[in-house]
Amino acid sequence: MDNQEKQIHDLLQKRMRDKRKAKRKKAHGDEKAALNLNSMMDMMTIILCFLLKNYGQEPIKVLPDMDLPFSTSEVIPKDMTTVTITGKAIVVMEQQVVPLTDRKVDKTLKKGGATGLIIQPLETALRDAVEEQKNFARQTKGEFQGEMTIIADVETPYRLIAEVMQTAISTEFKKFRFAVIKNKFAFSGAIP
Amino acid sequence: MAKVREEQDFGDLDLIPIMNLVLILIPLLLLSVVFLEITVINVTMPQKSLGAAANAGEPPKRLQLMVSKEGFWIIQGERAMPTIPECQGRGSQVTICLRDAEAKEPIDRYDWLMLYNTLLSIKGDAMWSDHEQLEVVAGADISFGVIVKAMDTSRFQRVPPGNEDASKGTSFSKPEDLYDSTVVQIEGTDEETGATGLRSLGLFPLVVLGLPTTQ
């Protein structure tokens, strides 16, 4: 009788040991460890949305080989015809139109030679731009504004800017905007 | 009971391909972000025939600022401001001499403080108090940066910081004070947006660019 009881007791103890072993194995054993990426995914989604929102918002694109002047102006740029004056060329809507040598237009490209104010290749390109703007205005039943943004390098001589503007006036552009980098007054060039 | 087991067997989504994609997109977009804020300055240029026809009666009231390599020359209407003979290097007339003719950057050579003070005193004159237009004429070689700076200097009336509610701008005695100053804010309607509220008090905010002088 005692023997039987002892056997049962041993059996029960063995079973409990097995159970414990199995539990331990389940907790630490064969299962693969997985990273919890949820919070990181949340963060990434927010950053992605923020960057996508900012992407391509700028209506003005500055070419890499030029510096814009600093200014205190707070007027927000609009999407319109842009003329970029770098150190080497005049670019209309991302297409190079006039090459520059030493920040000057070659006199053979101007009406009236060296003292002329109308740059001929630029005039042709701007006439196309005017035509495009007028078509757009007609289709959207708006009015032709004749607005232009001039993105000029900080060292562009005034003569060249005046030539570009005079050429633009001759092709029906009326309102001009200069693109600048917004900054405090102290940093608009002269630092005391 | 069976349903619960089914859900448990479904397991986690495999997010690693999406993570890879996102990790590539983030640096790509970060590279294209522009951290400089670009704004614009409105300017006009007089059309040759139009200006003369519109003001056939009395001559138009003009305030002109000539920028040359020797300094600034200001012309009020028909009257040029008194010139300073000492700093006329190559014969061009000058009202405000250069501050530092030897400075490396052209923009540092000009006396912006004196220009601001002079324009402010002109604005204080009853004849010019409601005038908003400044004609800027520059020499052919003057750089774009100098012209933008001249437009900045003449755009707003300024006061020392903390006095933004003053009724008009004050003159300054040191360049540092001018650079530390803030713009006078007054109640009014914004012309472009039509919104009422505080707006900056202009000095001569409308800039008309003239044809370059030959000097």
pLDDT tens-digit profile, chain A (192 residues) = 578 888 888 988 988 888 887 666 655 555 666 667 778 888 888 988 888 887 766 667 778 788 888 888 888 888 778 899 998 899 998 889 989 888 888 888 888 877 888 888 999 999 998 998 889 889 988 888 888 899 999 889 999 998 899 899 888 888 899 998 888 776 554 333
- Please tell me whether residues A135 and A79 are part of one structural domain: yes
> Chain B residues with CB inside 8 Å of A157's CB?
140-144
Domain assignment present for residue A49? The answer is: no
The pLDDT value recorded for residue A76 is 83
Q: Is residue A21, in this structure, part of any structural domain at all?
A: yes
- Per the CB < 8 A criterion, the answer to whether A155 and B148 are in contact is no
Q: Are residues A102 and A167 in the same domain?
A: yes
Residue A85 and residue A173 in one domain: yes
Per-residue pLDDT averaged across B160-165, rounded?
Answer: 82
Q: Are residues A24 and A74 in the same domain?
A: no
B64 Cα to chain A: minimum distance (Å): 16
> Closest approach of chain A CAs to the CA of B61, in angstroms?
22
pLDDT at B91: 58
Pairing between β-strand B71-76 and β-strand B38-44 as defined by DSSP bridges: unpaired
Which pLDDT tens digit goes with each residue over B53-67? 445 555 667 888 888
| Residue B149 one-letter amino acid | K
Which of the four pLDDT bands, split at 50, 70 and 90, describes residue B208?
A: confident
Give the pair of three-digit tokens for residue B59. 């001559």
Which of B104, B103, B118 has its CA nearest to residue B72?
Answer: B118
Rg, C-alpha atoms of chain B = 27
- The better pLDDT of the pair B72, B2 is held by B72
The pTM for the full model equals 0.76
Q: Which of A44, A161, A181 sits opposite B26 (nearest CB)?
A: A44
Using an 8 Å Cβ cutoff, are A178 and B43 in contact?
A: yes
Q: How far is CA B55 from the centre of its chain?
A: 28
Q: Which chain A residues are Cβ-neighbours of B201 within 8 angstroms?
A: none
Residue A47 falls inside a structural domain: no
Contacts of B211 in chain A (CB under 8 A): 117, 162, 166
Q: CA dist B167 to A105, A187, B124, B189, Å?
A: 47, 26, 12, 16
Residues 6+ apart with CB under 8 A from A157: A103, A104, B140, B141, B142, B143, B144
CB contact under 8 A, B19 and A155: no
Note whether residue A63 is domain-resident.
no
Give tens-digit pLDDT for B168-204. Answer: 888 888 888 888 888 888 887 766 666 777 778 888 8
What pLDDT, on a 0 to 100 scale, did the predictor assign at position B22?
86
Residue A100, domain extent: 70-187
DSSP labels, A35-104 = ---HHHHHHHHHHHHHHHHHTT--S----TT--PPEE---BPP-S-EEEEE-SSEEEETTEEEEEEETTE
Query: Residue A40 falls within a domain, yes or no?
Result: no
Tokens standing for residue B70: 């020797």
A77 and A22 in a common domain: no
Rg (CA), chain A: 36
By three-state DSSP, how is residue A32 classified?
Answer: coil
Within 13 Å of residue A168, how many CA atoms lie on the same side as its CB? 26
Average pLDDT over residues B74-92: 70
Which of B42, B142, B152 is facing A188, going by the closest CB pair? Answer: B152
Do residue A83 and residue A18 come from a single domain?
no
The one-letter code for the residue type at A53 is: K
Element (H, E) at A182: strand A175-182
Under an 8 A CB cutoff, do B19 and A44 touch? yes
Quick check: B175 and A156 CB within 8 A? no
A80 and A155 together in one domain: yes
pLDDT given at position B34: 66
Going by pLDDT thresholds of 50, 70 and 90, the confidence category of residue B48 is low
Same domain, A25 and A81: no
Is there a single domain that holds both residue A106 and residue A166? yes
> Which residues on neighbouring strands pair with residue A69, listed in sequence order?
none
Nearest to B40 among A77, A155, A158 (CB): A77
Residue A115 domain-assigned? yes
Q: Using N-to-C axis directions, what is the helix angle for B144-153 and B112-124, rounded to 10°?
A: 40
For residue A85, the model assigns a pLDDT of 92
| A149 and A80 in a common domain | yes
CB contact under 8 A, B40 and A156: no
Closest-CA distance, A153 to chain B, in angstroms, reads 7
CA closest to B12 among chain A residues: A34
SS (H, E, C) chain B: CHHHHHHHHHCCCCCHHHHHHHHHHHHHHHHHCCCCCEEEEEEECCCHHHHHHHCCCCCCCCEEEEEECCEEEEEECCEECCCCHHHCCCCCCCCEECCCCCCCCHHHHCCHHHHHHHHHHHHHCHHHCCCCEEEEEEECCCEHHHHHHHHHHCCECEECCCCCCCCCCCCCCCHHHHHHCEECEEEEECCCCCCEEEEECECCCEEEECCCECC
Cβ B143–A158 below 8 Å, yes or no? yes
Q: Which of A37, A72, A151, A156 to mutate to test the interface with B (most CBs of B within 10 A)?
A: A72
Q: In the prediction, which pLDDT does A192 show?
A: 33
Question: Is A101 inside any structural domain?
Answer: yes
Q: How far apart are CA B134 and CA B74, in angstroms?
A: 10
Question: Average model confidence (pLDDT) for chain B?
Answer: 78
Task: Check residues B4 and B41 and name the one with the higher pLDDT.
Answer: B41
Contact A51 B37 (CB under 8 A): no
Two tokens, residue B12: 């986690």
Q: Are residues A101 and A170 in the same domain?
A: yes
The structural domain count of chain A equals 2
Residue A37 lies in a domain: no
Interface A–B counts its CB contacts (< 8 A) at 171
Please give the ipTM for the structure prediction.
Answer: 0.76
Length of chain A, please?
A: 192
**What confidence tens digit (pLDDT) does each residue in B98-157 have?**
877 777 888 888 888 888 898 888 888 888 888 888 889 888 888 898 999 898 888 888
Report the gap between the CA of A21 and the closest CA in chain B (Å).
Answer: 24
| Residues contacting residue B120 through CB under 8 Å, at least 6 positions apart | B157, B169, B170, B171, B203
Rounded CA-CA distance B203/B185 in Å is 12
Please check whether residue A129 is in contact with residue A93, taking contact to mean a CB–CB distance below 8 angstroms: yes
DSSP A188: S
Q: Are residues A115 and A23 in the same domain?
A: no
The helix/strand/coil state of A141 is coil
Say which DSSP state A29 is in.
Answer: S
